[in-house]
Structure 1
């Protein structure tokens, strides 16, 4: 049963909002193992946690502390069990493009994870500054994220909250040149083991990045992460989400084939190379059975070979698979009689009834970075660059069988 919905302000009690010397002394009393660290400032927060920059008092090493408050309001035992998996998942999934876990300290009040400090900021913020990336820039960044996701899946885990905000630069990104920088995946707070014998259902993640099947009680699988990767790739290449604010905020997009979206028809998407469009479409297939896997993504022509060669290779692959040309001129709406469309329809029935009991999730749009409420007007499909921060909606639910 879906139980709750949280934005970015759920951490209201327990740990203080301002980390001056007096407040940090209070936290030290609650979690004595932290006496080795000098807190500098808060650099992020979540429904049940805060992330603080700090330095080791003996070595001077700069690190990040993620403090998960066990006594946070609305934190249920089922949520706590999910959150506890984060440290284990980070330990299990060590990788050059996954944030490094240095230590984990737990007591009756909180879990504190000692993490490497990533100083370059979110990929989302970089996209908002530059609007969109060239294909070469996007390719160099996306490959790093795809490698991390492939590694996570090889360990039998699902991230379940992949989005631009959860990709951080190690150092400030470069705005000129093909090599933008090194990125790492963060926030494994919703990570879970993939075990078909014990399915996990219900909506969990961020609207838009949330795979369509997850809105309809279809058991979670690694394919949900691949949809999220597809949305991330679309945004970095086009500077906008494929769907409108309204379609995302109201969770209408699970019923809309990507080829029918305003983003697909936009000039920014249609101007991409055929290999880039092919990869996006393979990731944003509504039917999870048809989506590219992480390993397949890494072998895709767009990532593997030069752009000119990739054009020919993708064309041959698409022709062999019987895929239509993804250009606007040759676009044909998905045939509802096709087996793929029928499979997707069977998987994705109804938008409002998001669980077997028929209950709806009260979704709450995030407030924009300037403090203004999100706008949900329909975008101009050719010119408007959507702010992804304005359309992200956090949905946190219980596990269900």
Structure 2
């Protein structure tokens, strides 16, 4: 009996000691433990929530350095989406994981604006990243410009106003877009502008803040970027000036087939404003394409400076954001899966057969580089609630 009681006392004492030990460990490693729990929950969500086989992949609608964009239908909801499928190894090889994570962050912040593409889900397998986005099937602005050569001034006014509104919204969130060009500007089925591709965005740029990274597309680079100077959010207004010029005249303002010549033009050539458009458009272009970024239109009071320009006198900005202004051109799409405005170079590509097959959640070294990538909206919120503005 005495031996039994002694054993019990020893067991109880040891148990208390173990409890005290683990309590101390948890207290001293609280932050690390929280991180572990967060990672555990993320992995659980990755395996249990959205996965590749939830979708039927119907058509390839785009292709980039790291993967493809596909038209897909969600099997349960029958909703159509554009699914951007990116290969992790290709991203890591070019050290572009930071840009991918920035794109995911900006997509989430842009849900409240009607002229920014919306993110519905993001998820990953051991080798692949998936962005599930709005399917916007009215075609790239680039496609329509190529087909028509140039737009009427009224049409260019409407598109540039919607672009300016989207850029102003991003700036209000301290985000600089940095890659405005016709290929990144889509039209939806109703004819409204939708900006996409946020990989070159820079977050955390307050009014008066600057950046240094050399990035963008050659035809639309601002002079201060080309010179390697620190630059501000005014680079986006230069980009808008370039796109507006192209809409009115058919080519970017300083275009040349030779990049060296084009860069010299951007830095030194006079801005050629041809006849056939209004004086107010000339005035706006001169303000946006001002080489001195401290004097550039939008450089001080951002969107407000543009809104007061005579070029935009026909625009009611509240009605614009509410999508109450009828677009000057409405794409003739026949339904939610119509891909007629996408380049046949992509739509004739075979859909990769393996896309919906690999669901298994595998622990891999590449997953650490994309920690926090996966996103599923809470049950009470759907991205479409914010995006489908009447």
TM-score scaled by structure 1?
0.61
Q: CA deviation at 1:153?
A: 0.6
Aligned residue for 1:188?
198
Residue deviations 1:209-267 (CA, integer Å, cap 9, x gap): 1111112222242111111110000010111222232454552233224xx24xx15xx
Matched residue, 1:167: 185
Higher relative contact order, structure no. (Cα contacts within 8 Å, ≥ 6 residues apart): 2
User: What number of residue pairs does the alignment pair up?
Assistant: 265
Residue by residue over 1:86-138, the C-alpha shift from the partner in whole angstroms, topping out at 9 and shown as x without a partner, is 01101112210001111111354333111010011101111111111111111
For the pair 1:292 / 2:317, whether they are aligned, the reply is no
2:209, 2:127 → 1: CA distance? 30
2:74 is matched with which residue?
56
What is the DSSP-based 3-state SS (H/G/I as helix, E as strand, rest coil) of the residue aligned with 1:125? helix
Deviations 1:13-35 (A, max 9, x none): xxxxxxxxxxxxxxxx9x98211
The residue number in structure 2 matching 1:90 is 107
Note if 1:99 corresponds to 2:99: no
Q: Please state if 1:45 is matched with 2:63.
A: yes
Aligned to 2:254: 243
Q: Is the 8 A contact 1:69 1:110 kept in 2?
A: yes
Counterpart position of 1:302: 311
Q: CA deviation at 1:198?
A: 8.4
Query: What residue in structure 2 maps to residue 213 of structure 1?
Result: 224
Aligned partner of residue 245 in structure 1, secondary structure: coil
Given the alignment of the two structures, is residue 229 of structure 1 paired with residue 243 of structure 2, yes or no? no
1:146-194, Cα deviation, whole Å (9 max, x unpaired)? 110110111000111110111111127xxxxxxxx21111111111114
Check the 8 A contact 1:93/1:155 in 2, yes or no. no
Shift in Å at residue 84 of structure 1?
Answer: 0.9
Contact residue 194 and residue 221 of structure 1 kept, 8 A: no
Distance 2:305 2:161 in 1: 12
Matched residue SS, 1:133: coil
Instruction: Report which of the two has the higher share of helix.
Output: 2
SS at match of 1:289: coil
What is the SS of the residue equivalent to 2:132? strand
1:58 Cα offset (Å): 1.4
- d(CA) in 2 for partners of 1:75, 1:295: 42
Q: 1:144 — aligned with what?
A: 162
Q: Give the 3 Å change call, closer, same or farther, for CA 211–103 of structure 1 in structure 2.
A: same
In the alignment, structure 2 segments of 5+ residues that lack a partner are: 1-46, 316-342, 346-390
Q: 141-150 or 45-54, which moves further after superposition?
A: 45-54
Q: Which runs of 5+ in 1 are unaligned?
A: 1-28, 173-180, 307-368, 372-401
SS of 1:188's partner is coil
Equivalent residue number for residue 252 of structure 1: 264
Are the aligned partners of 2:254 and 2:266 in contact in 1 as well (CA < 8 Å)?
Answer: no
- Go from structure 1 to structure 2 and tell me whether the alpha carbon gap of 1:220 and 1:104 turns closer, same or farther (over 3 Å shift): farther
From the CA coordinates, give the structure whose radius of gyration is larger: 2
Equivalent residue for 1:270, pick from 275, 278, 281: 275
